[in-house]
Amino acid sequence: MGKKNIDPQSLNEEFYQVSAEILESFPKFRLPLNLYQYNEKIAQLTPYYTAETRIQQEQKREMVKLSREGLIFVSRSDHKIYAKHISKQLDLVLMDKNLTTAEILYILRYALTEKIDEFYEQPVASALEKLSKDIGVLTEYLCTDNKRIEYLLDFLHEEYSLTNLSYNSGIIGLAIFLDAQGDDFKRKALDQLALGIFTHVLGLIRVPKFILEKTTNLSRDEQAKLTNYPMNGAGLMRKLDVMEDITLNCHLEHKEMMDGSGIPRGLKGNELSLHGRITAVVHTFCELTMQKNGKCLPYENALEYLVKAEQKYDSRITKRLNKVILNLLGRKKLNKS
């Protein structure tokens, strides 16, 4: 029997079909959400499975069969539960044709933020592999249509944390890169840049919290730990066999300045890579605009600050950032009207 084409309008768009592949990826014996079956006789959905009840093997086979026929649905009110599950196998999101754009973006943000956080908590090969795999899903999503980066910009984090800073920096950095490259970008470069920016403050995670929060003068040893954190982050990546210059330069150069006044090596001008300059700009922009203790700069003020600091930041990158952010603000204004 072929898959049923059911008009979502008839269901008030409160439900969506679940593919057999995604259904099979759930725990074998207990599902975390309710399922509904489309009853063709009355042309309505009826309850089929109650969350957390034990599933018999025969019932699981029937579920899969019905989902292949397009007859199994979940409620959109359970989307957060669904997203939490699918984020563990993010490649499934590209297979699910029933998700709205907003639902896909929610899942991508949830999954990538979670994987960045897990990598920062424990920077080991297995955590890096999971993050790299999810970055591959993101870049595949963008390669299909690079204009989708605009949607991702609408779903940035507002509250500051090093993990949220890394996610926001990554999305904005990719937007700048795609704007500059147009349709001529190389997938490998996009993957390497994404990994670099999404992990660029890894070295800072290793700096003791008391140093970061200290309000008095730092000792020489404490200052060295803070100054050298970009190199320490790059060193940790190398230990995990990440050797690509694009990725490593995001770590090494995101605190360098065009005039040579940055850290850790005091590089300047043409000594800095394109990818390091992009990371420096987006890192500073996100630091300024994310809420710390309820305070942050409006986007327009942060843009003005970066433009005025042209001796420190590459003006070509800040112009691209201006374009990306002003387009974002324009879309938000349009959506409100």
Q: Are residues 19 and 136 in the same domain?
A: no
Does residue 84 lie in a domain region?
Answer: no
pTM of structure: 0.88
Distance CA 220, CA 125 (A): 33
Q: Are residues 20 and 140 in the same domain?
A: no
Side chain identity, residue 192: Q
Does residue 94 lie in a domain region?
Answer: no
pLDDT score recorded for residue 18: 86
Q: What share of the chain is helix, strand, coil (3-state, %, to 5)?
A: 65, 5, 30
Q: Are residues 154 and 266 in the same domain?
A: yes
Q: Are residues 173 and 57 in the same domain?
A: no
Q: Is 73 helix (H, G, I), strand (E, B) or coil?
A: strand
Q: Are residues 172 and 133 in the same domain?
A: yes
Distance CA 22, CA 44 (A): 23
The packing angle between helices 245-253 and 274-289, to 10°, is: 50
- Confirm if 229 and 166 have CB atoms less than 8 A apart: no
pLDDT score recorded for residue 5: 54
Number of structural domains (the chain) is 2
| Sites in the chain below the pLDDT cut of 70 | 1-13, 337
Q: Are residues 223 and 308 in the same domain?
A: yes
Q: Are residues 137 and 219 in the same domain?
A: yes
Q: Are residues 187 and 228 in the same domain?
A: yes
Q: Which of 192, 146, 147, 193 is nearest to 169 (CA)?
A: 193
Domain span at residue 263 reads 100-336
Does residue 232 lie in a domain region?
Answer: yes
pLDDT score recorded for residue 2: 53
Does residue 88 lie in a domain region?
Answer: no
